[in-house]
Every structure is written in structure tokens, then in C-alpha cells.
């Protein structure tokens, strides 16, 4: 999905032109390919749908006071998209965003919004994807992570280093243990998500610090490495 900033000659675009659909939401104007919806039945998608269903029911069971607390928190903590535009999430979306991460990491859900800031970002990332030696791991600093903080890892495996527009290719791989020490091995998770890496491919990784008490994640740090063999 592409985001759009309209110029002086175009105030707003809406509708379909050929195969491109123009619309807008809380995050601003965007364009996407017009497609016929299909049912996604991968294990990852089904698990995500189950989490959304569970959390939507949990939201409905919150008291009016708890829901108002999330509304206030969302207003005070707007999200920023990749064009730098800020928007305010609906209260239920803020609740689900934090708790979906907590569920995925095996942490306890929260009924009230966080009262502390997101964790600070990682300082450095150094991935290795060596299919010969079997070293598929991510070295990081600062290490270990603070108590109650995990590494939240996404990755994308592409055909060559020239493919750098990978935002929509990144997929969640795993979380580390809390207070994790470098390096983090992600060989199994990478293979399950993308298949066996091949020499010449390029692996992008994006990592955050993730707070298991609040569901908040730090700003991302991203880098990539060629798949090699020794």
C-alpha cells in the first residue's frame, strides 16, 4: 500500500483508476492495487485472526472507565507512519495493538494502558546468515536486554541486495527470551517463514526492544546481510 501526499493541484483522490484504488483513512491518503479478496488460511494468518477475535471480545468486556482510559492514552500517544504523518488510533485499536503483541509473545494481557514510555531502541544489529556453518543469528547491543524486555524480530528474504523496498515483505519471526544476551539464533524461524535460504539471497532483519509488561516496542533498527556458506 502506497501513501500519498497531495500537491497544490490535487486536494483529494478517491475511487478506482484502472487497477489502482485511491482512498484515505485515519493515517491519510493512500493507493493500493485493486484486487478480488481471497481467504487467507495460512497458520500465521489463522493464529492472528484468532488473537483479534479474542481481543475484540476482551475489549467489549472492559468497563466504560477502562475503555475511556485507552481513549485518553491513544489521544496522547499518536502513531507516526513512514511519511512522518501522525494520527490517533481509535481506543479499541490501541488496546488491541498492545495486547496482540503481548499474546504473541506469551505475556500477560493488560486491561489498562501503559503509564511508562516504550523501551529505548537497540544500538546495533549484526546479522549472520551462513547456511554452510549453520550460523543464522543476530548479534545486538545493548546486551543483555533489560529485565522484562525481549527482542522483537522481523525479517525478509529476497533474491538480491538490490531489492531494498522491503517494508511490505517483512514478516514477524520470533521474540527472544527476556533479558536476552547476544546473539539471537533465528535459523529455525527463518526457514519456517521463508524456506531454506539460498546462497546469493539477501536477508533483511528489523528488530525492536519489546516490553513484556506494556506491549510497547521501541523504534526499529534495520539492516541486511547476504546469505553465504563456509
Residue 86 covered by a domain: yes
Residues 202 and 143 in one domain: yes
Does residue 175 share a domain with residue 94?
no
Assigned domain for 151 exists? yes
Please check whether residues 75 and 22 belong to one and the same domain: no
Domain that holds residue 95: 43-105
Q: How many CB atoms lie within 10 A of CB 17?
A: 10
pTM: 0.81
Q: Do 140 and 165 share a structural domain?
A: yes
Residue 117 lies in a domain: no
Same domain, 89 and 138: no
Looking at residue 12, its pLDDT comes to 59
Could you tell me if 52 and 8 lie in one domain? no
Residues 94 and 150 reside in one and the same domain? no
pLDDT tens string for the chain (230 positions)?
555 566 555 555 656 666 676 666 656 666 777 776 666 678 888 999 999 999 999 999 999 999 999 999 999 999 887 677 788 999 999 999 999 999 999 999 999 999 999 999 999 999 999 999 889 999 999 999 999 999 999 999 999 999 989 999 999 999 999 999 999 999 999 999 999 999 999 999 999 999 999 999 999 999 999 999 99
pLDDT at 19: 62
**Dihedral sign, Cα of residue 77, residue 81, residue 84, residue 88:** negative
Same domain, 179 and 214: yes
Structure confidence at residue 134 (pLDDT): 82
What is the model's pLDDT at position 84?
Answer: 75
- Tell whether 218 is covered by a domain: yes
Instruction: Report the number of distinct structural domains present in the chain.
Output: 3
Give the model's pLDDT for residue 215.
97
Last residue of a domain, one of 72, 105, 138: 105
Query: Does 110 fall in a domain?
Result: no
Reference 22, options 14, 33, 10; nearest CA is 14
DSSP 40-94: ---HHHHHHHHHHHHHHHHHHHS-HHHHHHHHHHHHHS-EE-TTS-EEPPPHHHH
Tell whether 84 and 140 lie within a shared domain.
Answer: no
CA-to-CA separations, 169 to 138, 189, 203, in angstroms, rounded: 19, 15, 11
User: Is 154 part of any domain?
Assistant: yes
Amino acid at each position: 500500500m502506497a501513501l500519498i501526499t497531495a500537491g497544490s493541484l490535487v486536494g483529494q483522490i478517491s475511487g478506482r483508476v484502472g487497477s489502482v484504488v485511491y482512498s484515505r483513512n485515519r493515517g491519510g491518503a493512500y493507493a493500493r492495487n485493486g484486487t478480488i479478496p481471497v481467504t487467507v488460511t495460512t497458520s500465521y494468518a489463522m493464529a492472528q485472526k484468532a488473537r483479534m477475535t479474542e481481543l475484540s471480545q476482551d475489549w467489549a468486556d472492559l468497563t466504560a472507565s477502562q475503555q475511556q482510559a485507552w481513549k485518553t492514552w491513544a489521544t496522547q500517544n499518536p502513531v507516526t507512519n513512514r511519511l512522518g504523518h501522525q494520527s490517533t488510533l481509535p481506543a479499541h485499536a490501541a488496546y488491541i495493538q498492545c495486547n496482540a503483541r503481548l499474546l504473541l509473545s506469551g505475556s500477560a494481557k493488560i486491561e489498562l494502558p501503559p503509564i511508562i514510555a516504550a523501551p529505548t531502541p537497540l544500538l546495533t544489529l549484526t546479522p549472520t546468515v551462513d547456511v554452510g556453518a549453520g550460523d543464522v543469528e543476530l548479534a545486538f547491543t545493548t546486551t543483555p536486554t533489560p529485565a522484562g524486555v525481549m527482542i522483537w524480530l522481523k525479517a525478509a528474504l529476497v533474491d538480491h541486495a538490490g531489492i531494498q523496498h522491503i517494508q511490505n515483505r517483512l514478516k514477524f519471526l520470533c521474540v527472544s527470551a527476556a533479558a536476552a544476551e547476544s546473539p539471537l539464533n533465528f535459523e529455525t524461524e527463518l526457514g519456517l517463514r521463508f524456506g531454506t535460504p539460498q546462497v546469493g539471497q539477501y536477508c533483511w532483519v528489523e528488530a525492536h526492544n519489546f516490553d513484556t509488561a506494556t506491549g510497547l516496542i521501541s523504534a526499529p533498527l534495520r539492516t541486511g546481510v547476504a546469505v553465504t556458506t563456509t
